[in-house]
């Protein structure tokens, strides 16, 4: 049996995630569970906007795009740091405002877990 890591949430990320459609939540939880078990879902990819160890789960649902970002290198848990519905019209690029928010949350999380 594998050692499964806990999945922890930044409160604001959990609140946003709970607004997602149930099908999206279910698929994202499956991907997070796979990460907690040491694997990586085919729906998750490294997030390039920050230092290593952060992954983005990207799902399309009824024409909308949903994202959840989690960190695997902060503490013992898998940390979900951000969840949002992407509304950008600028292609696949994550809006800078979202990247800044992700960076800020990662910084605060690292400080809180020291």
Q: What is the architecture of the domain spanning 7-112? A: 2-Layer Sandwich (3.30)
Question: For strand 64-71 and strand 54-61, is the pairing parallel, antiparallel, or unpaired?
Answer: antiparallel
On the question of pLDDT at 39 being above 80, the answer is yes
Q: What is the pLDDT of residues 41-92, one digit of tens each?
A: 999 999 987 888 999 999 999 989 999 999 999 989 999 999 999 875 656 6
Tell me if 54 sits within 8 A of 102, measured CB to CB.
yes
Residue spans per domain, the chain: 7-112
> What is the b/e burial string over 87-107, where b = at least 16 CB atoms within 10 angstroms of the residue's CB?
eeeeeeebeeebbebbbebbe
Whole-number Å distance between alpha carbons of 65 and 74:
26
Q: How far is the C-alpha of 79 from the C-alpha of 20, rounded, in Å?
A: 18
């Amino acid at each position: 049996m594998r050692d499964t890591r806990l999945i922890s949430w930044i409160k604001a990320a959990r609140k946003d995630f709970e607004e997602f459609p149930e099908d999206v939540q279910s698929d994202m939880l499956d991907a997070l569970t796979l990460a907690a078990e040491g694997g990586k879902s085919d729906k998750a990819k490294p997030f390039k906007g920050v230092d290593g160890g952060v992954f983005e789960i990207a799902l399309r649902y009824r024409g909308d795009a949903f994202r959840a970002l989690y960190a695997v290198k902060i503490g013992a848990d898998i940390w979900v740091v951000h969840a949002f519905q992407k509304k950008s019209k600028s292609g696949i690029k994550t809006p800078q405002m979202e990247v800044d928010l992700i960076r800020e949350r990662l910084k605060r999380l690292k400080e809180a877990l020291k």
